């Protein structure tokens, strides 16, 4: 009797039997993880150094109102997306400066992650180099540490580029494009101009697929409606958003074209100097190698449009840095690719680089001493020059002998300018949020709140604690916030934000100021309104207070000095010194406000009680 043959069982593959190539995945992800770590580190350094600006404080106050069910101001309706993000942060972590700026910090990291999505189009070297430039860009670092829709605008644009680069003609990219396009005007009024340009690009992208276009338009409108109404909880939100956003776009950007057009150019010549150099190199290489120049043309058109309509705002400066980062990333990647890194394993090639570095340092020292002139005795100056010349001759002789033994000394020299630009970019990134007089020469802090304002606010809070700690007011359950505070509406922020726990805080217009100040214990007014309050309250002690930072006069109109500096070698040394230290001859005095205190509050706040 024959026994039936049983076929051998086929082993069944399970999830646990699969091999995951972790080594290859880690190698691919490690450079991007390093970029994110560096970007997070430079943004956390000085994250809360500056107080909230007036605009930030207005958005933060509206975010608190959104959480508590209050009414929003025109600032919140103009930029509903950052207001909602701040409200979500407050809901999770409670209101505060750090929680207010947390969404911007995360959006800055999302922008770098979004750059990785462009690798299929631009290539890994270009996108990685551009990501490093975004991580170390002082403009984008500042935007990532401010409560505003600027960095959200930048991150959304990068994600839109990633969606447009997909070759798929399915409906999913069109849906994502509509949602992202709606985020542009929701984040900032300039987003309307970007959304218009995106509509033209999307129409060309899906010109043969009307269904995709209709889906993108539908998702755009739906996202606008849902976000501006805070998920339909405020039905009037869409109309208010459109009115306030279009009004701000016309008032702040379109009404006066080419206003402050020098600021973006000045930023490139100072804080963004490394990116400017690499962008010029990238443009030259694109033209020279005949590479497709669509993004070079787009960057040029974008920068020109920002010069005309950007009004020198932080949004315009950040978008300019984003546009140039692609050109600079291409230039940086090509320069890095030209360096024969394997040659540094050869002793003579490594020695040639070291000797060339010494020659460059001695040459710069000699040039600087010559341009500085005899600051003391002429004999000491001449002796110093002679010694540097002898040292240069010796180092040059050593370098030439080493060069003869090296195999590729010329190409290894590319490391020197790359290292110099990296050091300068790192320095600019770390010092962008410095508060001392060490860094006054920048246009990025125009409109920021003076750091000293918090000292006076803290004094007022301590005085309030001393005087009103035991007042039984149900509106002040913890006590200590019983002072009557009156703020003139044009300078109300950020005082209203930092004194938001005071139940008797009142905002008054110029016509209401005299009446409101009659019972006030603390009054904050602009200098031109002091006489109005002093007429009804002659007993107040007035204290001037630095309010907002301004741009130094030298940087408002620097072009004449820069033009003549091109032909005067002595100014070259001053320019290099300015790139390192940002020191200007005449410091800009911040705009000020006047704080009027009743005599008892002034005494407890540490101010002389002399009206």
Going from N- to C-terminal start, the domains of the chain cover 340-413, 453-552+590-605
User: Would you say 187 and 224 are in contact if contact means Cβ atoms under 8 Å apart?
Assistant: no
Q: How far is Cα 179 from Cα 172, in angstroms, rounded to an integer?
A: 11
Burial 226-265 (b: 16+ CB within 10 A, else e): ebbbbeeebeebbebbeebbeebbeebbbeeeeebbbbbb
**Residues 78-84, mean pLDDT to the nearest whole number:** 95
Question: In this predicted model, which residue has the larger pLDDT, 528 or 562?
Answer: 528
Lowest mean pLDDT among 29-33, 294-298, 453-457: 294-298
pTM attached to this predicted model: 0.88
DSSP string, 123-185: -HHHHHHHHHHHHH-HHHHHHHTSSSSHHHHHHHHHHHHHHHT----SHHHHHHHHHHHHHHH
Q: How far is Cα 139 from Cα 449, in angstroms, rounded to an integer?
A: 17
Question: Shortest CA distance to 440 belongs to which of 427, 431, 453, 452?
Answer: 431
Give me the pLDDT at residue 1, please: 46
Question: In this predicted model, which residue has the larger pLDDT, 181 or 410?
Answer: 181
Give the pLDDT band of residue 19 (cuts 50, 70, 90).
Answer: low
Q: Residue 504: pLDDT above 80?
A: yes
**Residues 406-418, mean pLDDT to the nearest whole number:** 79
Tens of pLDDT, residue by residue over 537-591, are 898 999 999 899 888 777 777 666 666 656 666 667 777 777 777 777 677 788 8
User: Would you say 299 and 157 are in contact if contact means Cβ atoms under 8 Å apart?
Assistant: no
Tens of pLDDT, residue by residue over 102-125, are 999 999 999 999 999 998 888 899
Give me the pLDDT at residue 583, please: 72
DSSP state of 376: S
What SS3 class is residue 595? Answer: strand
Give me the pLDDT at residue 302, please: 78
Q: In what order do the strands lie in the sheet with 522-525?
A: 505-508, 485-488, 522-525, 591-597, 541-548
Give the pLDDT band of residue 153 (cuts 50, 70, 90).
Answer: very high
Q: How far is Cα 221 from Cα 171, in angstroms, rounded to an integer?
A: 16
Q: How far is Cα 486 from Cα 520, in angstroms, rounded to an integer?
A: 6
CA-CA-CA-CA dihedral for 17, 22, 25, 29, to nearest 10: 140
User: Would you say 356 and 398 are in contact if contact means Cβ atoms under 8 Å apart?
Assistant: no
| Residues 6+ positions from 452 with CB-CB distance below 8 Å | 545, 546
Angle at 155 between CA 64 and CA 198, to 5 degrees: 110
From residue 382, give the alpha-carbon distance in Å to each of 375, 393, 483, 543: 11, 17, 68, 54
Give me the pLDDT at residue 563, please: 63
Give me the pLDDT at residue 22, please: 65
Q: Which two tokens stand for residue 416?
A: 């020197």
Q: Residue 611: pLDDT above 50?
A: no
Tens of pLDDT, residue by residue over 225-264, are 999 998 888 889 899 999 999 999 999 898 888 888 888 8
Range among 106-120, 197-211, 249-263, 460-474 rated most confident: 106-120
Give me the pLDDT at residue 5, please: 55
Tens of pLDDT, residue by residue over 337-395, are 888 777 777 787 778 778 888 888 887 777 777 776 776 677 777 887 888 888 888 88
């Amino acid at each position: 009797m024959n026994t039936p043959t049983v076929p051998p069982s086929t082993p069944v593959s399970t999830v646990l039997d699969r091999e995951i190539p972790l080594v290859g995945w880690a190698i691919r992800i490690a450079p991007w993880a390093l970029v994110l770590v560096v970007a997070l580190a430079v943004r956390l350094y000085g994250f809360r150094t500056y107080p909230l600006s007036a605009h930030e404080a207005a958005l933060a106050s509206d975010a608190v109102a959104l959480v508590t069910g209050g009414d929003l101001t025109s600032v919140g309706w103009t930029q509903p997306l950052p207001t909602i993000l701040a409200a979500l942060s407050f809901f999770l972590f409670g209101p505060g400066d750090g929680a207010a700026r947390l969404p911007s910090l995360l959006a800055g990291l999302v922008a770098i992650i979004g750059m990785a999505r462009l690798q299929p189009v631009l290539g890994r070297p270009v996108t990685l180099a551009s990501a490093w430039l975004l991580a170390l860009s002082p403009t984008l670092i500042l935007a990532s540490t401010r409560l505003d829709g600027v960095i959200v605008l930048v991150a959304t644009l990068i994600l839109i580029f990633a969606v447009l680069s997909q070759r798929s003609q399915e409906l999913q990219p069109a849906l994502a494009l509509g949602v992202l396009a709606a985020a542009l005007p929701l984040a900032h009024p300039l987003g309307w101009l970007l959304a218009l340009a995106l509509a033209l690009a999307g129409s060309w992208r899906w010109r043969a697929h009307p269904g995709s276009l209709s889906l993108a338009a539908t998702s755009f409108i739906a996202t606008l409606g849902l976000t501006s109404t805070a998920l339909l909880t405020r039905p009037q939100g869409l109309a208010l958003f459109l009115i306030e956003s279009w009004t701000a776009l016309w008032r702040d950007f379109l009404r006066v074209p080419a206003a402050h057009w020098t600021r973006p150019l000045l930023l490139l010549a100072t804080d963004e100097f490394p990116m400017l150099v690499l962008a010029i190199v990238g443009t030259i290489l694109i033209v020279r190698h005949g590479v497709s120049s669509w993004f070079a043309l787009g960057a040029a058109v974008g920068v020109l449009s920002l010069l005309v309509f950007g009004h020198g705002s932080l949004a315009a400066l950040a978008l300019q840095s984003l546009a140039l980062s692609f050109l600079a990333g291409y230039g940086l990647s090509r320069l890095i690719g030209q360096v024969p890194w394997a040659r540094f394993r050869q002793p003579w090639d490594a020695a040639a680089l070291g000797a060339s570095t010494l020659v460059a340092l001695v040459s710069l020292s000699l040039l600087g001493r010559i341009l500085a002139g005899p600051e003391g005795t002429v004999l000491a100056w001449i002796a110093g020059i002679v010694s540097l010349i002898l040292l240069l001759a010796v180092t040059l002789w050593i370098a030439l002998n080493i060069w003869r033994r090296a195999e590729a000394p010329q190409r290894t020299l590319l490391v020197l300018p790359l290292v110099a630009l990296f050091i300068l970019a790192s320095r600019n990134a770390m010092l962008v949020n410095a508060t001392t007089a060490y860094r006054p020469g920048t246009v990025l802090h125009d409109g920021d709140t003076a750091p000293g304002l918090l000292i006076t606010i803290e004094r007022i809070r301590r005085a309030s604690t001393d005087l009103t700690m035991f007042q039984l007011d149900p509106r002040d359950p913890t006590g200590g916030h019983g002072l009557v505070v009156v703020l003139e509406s044009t300078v109300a922020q950020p005082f209203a934000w930092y004194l938001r726990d005071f139940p008797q805080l009142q905002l008054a217009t110029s016509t209401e100021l005299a009446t409101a100040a009659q019972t006030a214990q603390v009054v904050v007014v602009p200098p031109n309104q002091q006489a109005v309050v002093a007429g009804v309250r002659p007993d107040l002690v007035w204290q001037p207070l630095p309010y907002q930072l301004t741009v130094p006069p030298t940087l408002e109109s620097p072009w004449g000095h820069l033009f003549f500096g091109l032909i005067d070698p002595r100014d070259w040394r001053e320019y290099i010194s300015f790139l390192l230290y940002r020191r200007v001859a005449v410091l800009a005095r911040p705009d000020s406000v006047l704080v009027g205190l009743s005599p008892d509050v002034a005494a407890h706040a540490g101010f002389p009680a002399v009206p």
